[in-house]
Structure 1
């Protein structure tokens, strides 16, 4: 399903310490998930946070879940960055 681009994955691993095989497993599980199910979303957020070794507050998790369920996700990198950097 996903073509492995070594330079891309090397860069991701360098910046995040997440191994390419872990990233591909996550991407595969997401493609098969029901992203309109709140429990599935919360599990996915938890998994991504654990992989990245970054804590996600309950408020931030609620904000992400709400944005996804309401089709209100940012469409550009600047807005997405603001969403994740917004301290709540």
Structure 2
């Protein structure tokens, strides 16, 4: 990215904007009742956040999201990842 604003975000987070945009796109078009899609997004968020997610925690997050079925609350995932 050549935009200084995006470069600042990349420098601060250590995450390339292309990855953030790809995640945002996946979230925007995801079916939150589809366990496979939700697991993929949860793993991607963990990877971007540089957090190791145990299988148990992943299951809790996925089940919580699937239970709601219509939206994804990233702050909820962040809280669960601690």
TM-score bracket for this pair, using the shorter chain length: 0.5 to 0.7
State the distance in 2 between where 1:81 and 1:20 align. Answer: 19
Q: Which residue of 2 aligns with 1:53?
A: 50
- Count of aligned pairs between the two proteins: 76
Select the structure with the greater relative contact order (CA < 8 A; seq sep ≥ 6): 2
Unaligned ranges ≥5, structure 1? 1-5
Could you tell me the TM-score, scaled by structure 2's length? Answer: 0.68
State the distance in 2 between where 1:28 and 1:81 align. Answer: 19
Asked if 1 retains the 8 angstrom alpha-carbon contact of 2:39 and 2:62, the reply is: yes
Q: Which of structure 1's runs of 4+ aligned residues deviate more than 6 A? A: none
State the distance in 1 between where 2:42 and 2:32 align. Answer: 11
Could you tell me the TM-score, scaled by structure 1's length? Answer: 0.64
State the distance in 2 between where 1:30 and 1:81 align. Answer: 15
Unaligned ranges ≥5, structure 2? none
Please state how far the C-alpha of 1:41 moved relative to its aligned partner: 0.7
Instruction: Report the RMSD for the aligned CA atoms in angstroms.
Output: 2.7
